[in-house]
């Protein structure tokens, strides 16, 4: 059933005739996406602590909650193949900031180990910011027009390479600020490559402005955070303006 449905979509797409007066344009896009995650992170240094009969005990691993917000800016040449279908490709800068906190308010991080002596500090929150350069590739399908506006669906993929990472640690005991850099190195970084996909629905106006809702999801490589083990479906918004020009055959 799914294969038959996909075949109908492909045939319908290929059967749309190209417009005699085709258009190309340059799109300037800005947007933000958000998702939440709840996971047991696999950091060897992370412990959940509890007190029993005046003694502290530490459990391996820690359940925590986190969120990630990404902001991006892109420039995408757009080629209108027909009145309904456009192809887009370009260059995108994405900055993804994620937070991770314990579900008990704080957790313990083992920052040093000397033989049998373990050294811990208490952490309120980890915050990681990763920057990526990517190549957005997308197809836009306009389904109908009403006056000066049209409704469209858009889907695409953005292969991206990580270019920078910054780890920020909120330590509960200010006397332990000196170990921040060591903990940052122990947190590490996500993989260098990721490939988010997305689907979106939006409204575009005849004078070039468009607004859309997006639903991104990472399919290849790592997520844009060291804290999320599995990719989570997010949601977001995008504003775009297209500077277009007609090209006659």
Domain ranges of the chain: 24-248
Q: Is the pLDDT of residue 45 over 60?
A: yes
User: What is residue 247's predicted lDDT score, i.e. its pLDDT?
Assistant: 46
Residue 17 has pLDDT above 60, yes or no: no
Residue-wise pLDDT tens digits, 190-243: 889 999 999 999 998 878 889 999 888 877 666 788 877 777 788 999 999 988
Out of 18-22, 73-77, 120-124, which region has the weakest mean confidence (pLDDT)? 18-22
Name the pTM for this structure: 0.80
Q: What is the 3-state secondary structure (H, E, C) of the chain?
A: CHHHHHHHHHHHHHCCCCCCEEEEEEEEEEEEEEEEEEEEECCCCEEEEEEECCEEEEEECEEEEEEEEEEEEEEEEEEECCCCEEEEECEEEEEEEEEEEECCCCEEEEEEEECCEEEEEEEEEEEEEEEEEECCEEEEEEEEEECCEEEEEEEEECCEEEEEEEEEEEECCHHHHHHHHHHHHHHCCCCCEEEEEEEEEEEEECCCEEEEEEEEEEEEECCCCCCCCCCCCCEEEEEEEEEEEEEEC
Topology of domain 24-248 in CATH is Porin (2.40.160)
Mean pLDDT of the chain: 79
Checking if the pLDDT of 103 tops 70, the result is: no
Query: pLDDT tens-digit profile of 57-77?
Result: 555 555 566 888 999 999 999
């Amino acid at each position: 059933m799914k294969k038959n449905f996909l075949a109908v979509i492909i045939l319908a797409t290929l059967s749309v005739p190209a417009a005699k007066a085709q258009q190309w344009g340059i799109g300037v896009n800005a947007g933000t996406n958000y998702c939440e995650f709840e996971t047991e992170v696999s950091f060897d240094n992370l412990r959940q602590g509890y007190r029993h009969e005046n003694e502290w005990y530490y459990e391996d691993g820690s359940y925590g909650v986190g969120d990630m917000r990404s902001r991006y800016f892109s420039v995408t040449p757009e080629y209108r193949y027909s009145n309904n279908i456009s192809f887009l490709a370009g260059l995108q800068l994405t900055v993804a900031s994620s937070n991770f906190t314990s579900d008990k308010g704080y957790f313990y991080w083992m920052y040093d180990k000397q033989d049998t002596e373990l050294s811990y500090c208490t952490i309120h929150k980890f915050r990681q910011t990763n920057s990526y350069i990517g190549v957005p590739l997308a197809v836009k399908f306009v389904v109908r027009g009403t006056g000066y506006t049209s409704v469209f669906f858009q889907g695409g993929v953005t292969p991206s390479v990580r270019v920078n990472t910054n780890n920020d640690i909120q330590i509960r005991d200010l006397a332990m600020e000196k170990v921040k850099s060591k903990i940052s190195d122990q947190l590490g970084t996500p993989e260098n490559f990721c490939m988010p996909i997305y689907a979106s629905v939006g409204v575009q106006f005849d004078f070039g402005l468009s607004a859309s809702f997006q639903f991104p999801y990472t399919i290849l490589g790592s997520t844009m955070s060291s804290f999320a083990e599995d990719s989570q479906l997010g949601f977001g918004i995008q504003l775009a303006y297209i500077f277009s020009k007609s090209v006659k055959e």
